[in-house]
Chains A and B, each alone.
Chain A
């Protein structure tokens, strides 16, 4: 409970600043309207009107909260206006992409650690792949895969995997290489074969690194999926909510979708953190 107080203080400060910013940014529109009608507006009237506009420049926190609540609880989950529906579309592609990305990342890391040619060649390509703006290649991936007959959530998942494999490669290479020379010598004195050295030494040593990477990777997966939904005219998913919100100036809808995405990301990272604690505790690595 002691840790709750500072957290709440920070949240309260953010909400306070947010309200002030909303009043300041939305006031222009209120003054413009009043000038057009040729009437004067008082300060309290301005404040009241800035916080309840239909299409504010910056929606106030309570508007976003209401938008979020309406999206989650105010609709049937099958409705096209339900954030649960759109969230699930994004989440399913995220999870698939995360699975692809993590598997690819782990396999690449094993290859880099065990194969000299891969060690010399793969990492520069992996780094180069991350310097290309995903926004630029996402439509191409969708078009190419579509022409190959791959549709549905797989193309989105591949874009998501494209972002999430990288932290897993970096973390796993570091983790698989974390046993020191002495621990490797010890395996040699037992005449252990490669599979035994991998299974009994390298893999367990890499676990703390793996979980740290997975946390970064799952958040990157979600970003990848949303980005994959943006430039491709997707009709469902949090990305499409952001897009249609920006088409029609529905700022409340954009912010609600953004918060839904943030809550989703936080939950995913939280779940991995929980799995990490359980696994590492069972391994005796948590005191």
Chain B
């Protein structure tokens, strides 16, 4: 496990994004400044419409900013996308129903032209990483929602990009499954040393997982607070009862409330 370095992997400066809609322009992101270092686990939290998903999609070059600058690995987001710099996990697992779990994980590998042997080996490795050994030959509908989401994480990990972008990956799962997957995600992050961008609207989830918490607020979407977590790397679930944890959660809540203050 490499320590979080000081090189900025993702850097946003004065980032702006305005959507032109039928009801007039919508300011989805306004003056967003943020730098994310290698190996960090960064959560974006805020109410819906605060631009947290939009920002993640900008990093992935699925949306294009209308102002400011954004670099990923020192490249433009589009160049980084073409170099397959990141794996993306969506809110829904989005596995192809006509492919087995192994087949789904092979999808990016086929597209990127890995050899057959290498595909097999990588599928084996990532299935082990997300604790789904022996499920490769099952079809998605034969798996529970939590297992499907793990398979979709495996799919994003398969081609070994340094950055993992996750858009509310556990949002549709129940609390118990969510807790377990959070714990597993931390272990996975510790083992792989990836840089993770994680969108959530759950305060405990953000505080439990992150080394850095970005609090955002809507209309226009902007960053209101960036919190560097003092929690240790090793985090059992019980850490959620510690004073540090409660204090950070409190600060996040205050940040969210402050962001809402000017419009209520």
Chain A residues within 8 Å of B, Cβ to Cβ: 182-183, 185-192, 196, 200-201, 204, 207, 283-285, 287
Contacts and interface: CB of A to CB of B under 8 A. Distances in A.
18 contacts: A182-B94, A183-B96, A186-B94, A188-B61, A189-B62, A189-B81, A189-B86, A189-B87, A189-B88, A190-B107, A190-B111, A191-B81, A191-B111, A200-B110, A201-B96, A284-B100, A284-B139, A287-B141
Given A190-B111, A285-B98, 17 more contacts: A183-B94, A185-B62, A185-B88, A186-B88, A186-B94, A189-B81, A189-B86, A189-B88, A190-B112, A191-B81, A191-B111, A192-B111, A196-B111, A200-B107, A283-B98, A284-B139, A285-B97
B84 A191 contact: yes
Contacts of B231: none
B245 interface: no
B99 interface: yes
Among the interface residues B81, B98, B110, which one has the most CB atoms of the partner chain A within 10 A?
Answer: B98
B62 A188 contact: yes
B112 A204 contact: no
A193 to B, nearest CB: 8
Contacts of A283: 98
A287 to B, nearest CB: 6
A187 B90 CA distance: 12
Nearest to A191: B82
Nearest to A184: B62
Nearest to A204: B98
Prevailing SS type, chain B contact patch: loop
Chain B interface size band reads: 20 to 34
Nearest to B83: A191
A108 B86 CA distance: 36
Contacts of A196: 111
Contacts of B60: 189
A235 B236 CA distance: 85
Contacts of B108: 190
Contacts of A186: 88, 90, 94
Contact of A182 (B81, B86, B92, B111): B92
A86 to B, nearest CB: 41
Contact of A284 (B87, B99, B110): B99
A200 B110 CA distance: 10
Contacts of A287: 141
Contacts of B94: 182-183, 186
Given A189-B86, A192-B111, A196-B111, A284 B97 contact: yes
Contacts of A182: 90, 92, 94
B90 A200 contact: no
Nearest to B78: A191
A200 B96 CA distance: 10
A284 B96 CA distance: 10
Contacts of A200: 107, 110-111
B177 to A, nearest CB: 21
A201 to B, nearest CB: 7
A284 to B, nearest CB: 4
Contacts of B61: 188
B151 to A, nearest CB: 13
A186 B86 CA distance: 11
Interface string B89-129: 01010101111100000011011100000000000000000
A190 B156 CA distance: 10
A285 B100 CA distance: 11
Contacts of B99: 284
Contacts of A204: 96, 98
B111 A188 contact: no
